[in-house]
Amino acid sequence: MFVGYIERRRSPLDPVLRSLVSARIAQLCHCEFCIDITSMTLAARSGAGQAAGGRRLAQQYAVQRKERLALAYAEAATQTPPAVDDALRSAMAAHFGARALTELTALIGLQNLSARFNAAMAIPAQGLCQIPTSSSQNKE
């Protein structure tokens, strides 16, 4: 139900941005299943065919300041404990506004819950999107 709300058409967040943030969190949490499904969704929404793995994901899609900020915010909020500082929070508020920032924060929390749960349960990738092996990701 909550996922449906975040993924609705009238969301203040662009679908590609939502997918980009979700894919990055999946990577940070080392969730094979989440990387698989969020990469597939990102590739479909962005028209990229296959999403890149590792840090290339951010470099490939984050061409706008708004996307780079959203990724920085997602990375900071995903740390344990969360490491969102006042400067980042102010930049986010200036670029997104209260409604979009609240929704982005909810998305980050939901994706963290999902990715951490699935990683803890060792839910494997399902072959939905081509994922580079860990040896190729370490070369980045």
Helix (H) or strand (E) holding 4: helix 2-6
31-81 pLDDT, tens digit each: 999 999 988 888 888 876 544 454 455 555 556 888 999 999 999 999 999
Tell me phi and psi for residue 38, to 5 degrees: -75, -30
| Number of residues that this document lists for the chain | 140
Residue 45 to residue 55: CA distance in whole angstroms = 19
CATH of domain 14-132: 1.20.1290.10
84-130 pLDDT, tens digit each: 999 999 999 999 999 999 999 999 999 999 999 999 999 998 878 76
Q: Which of 110, 113, 108, 79 is nearest to 92 (CA)?
A: 108
Specify the pTM.
Answer: 0.77
Provide the Cα torsion 101, 106, 110, 113; round to 10°.
Answer: 100
